[in-house]
Amino acid sequence: MNLLLARHGESEWIVRGDEAGFNSPLTDRGRRQARLLGRWLAANQKIDAIYASPLIRARDTAEIVAAELHLPVTLDHDLREFEVPYWEDSDDYAPPYFNGSAAAPAYLAETYLPFKTRVQRAAQRILEAHAGGTVLIVAHGGTVGTIVRCLLGVHNFGVQTDPTGLHRLRWNGGRWNIEFMNRLDHLREGIE
């Protein structure tokens, strides 16, 4: 089993912030990043299925990538990004709150924990549907980081994911192996 995780390309929200709106589209640069990611994947990876968040920036990134791979995209509502930045202004986003040794503060229990549960549910559903295959999930920085944290069973670290940053994990010998994180080789064609 191989799992590829990619963040969407640059969006208007990344460039303009809240003014652009949470469900903002890709910029021209974001569309170029997605095209380059799709070309790189077509040349370097055998992918069996593509899943994406239905939010515009992730959906459009996935569709651009899918066109290069000649595959359909399956949208999964549980892969959406979290709308409230649970990590900001919180001294509690650290052990022991996410490793099961203590109860999370009430505001985190109402924010990160339900987000983690739905993302974990989506990842489990996708992985079970494609056991033995290679799946690409195109989503958001928070979603990608949460999938990685869920697979590793540790929730007190961040996962850097740049626009179209690619992560690859392989299930081998009864455990997940991280092959690479936040890979940006596909952008070497002059976009950056």
Query: Residues 144, 49: contact at Cβ < 8 Å?
Result: no
Answer whether 143's CB lies under 8 Å from 79's CB.
yes
CATH number, domain with residue 8? 3.40.50.1240
Per-residue pLDDT tens digits for 46-81: 999 999 999 999 999 999 999 999 999 999 999 999
Q: Quick one: pLDDT at residue 112?
A: 79
Predicted structure pTM score: 0.87
Q: Which domain holds residue 174?
A: 2-187
* Within a domain: 192: no
Residue 76, CA distances (Å) to 13, 81, 126, 178 in order: 21, 11, 9, 24
Residue 99, domain member (yes or no): yes
Count CB atoms within 10 A of the CB of residue 69: 18
Q: How confident is the model at residue 140 (pLDDT cuts 50, 70, 90)?
A: very high
Number of domains present in the structure of the chain: 1
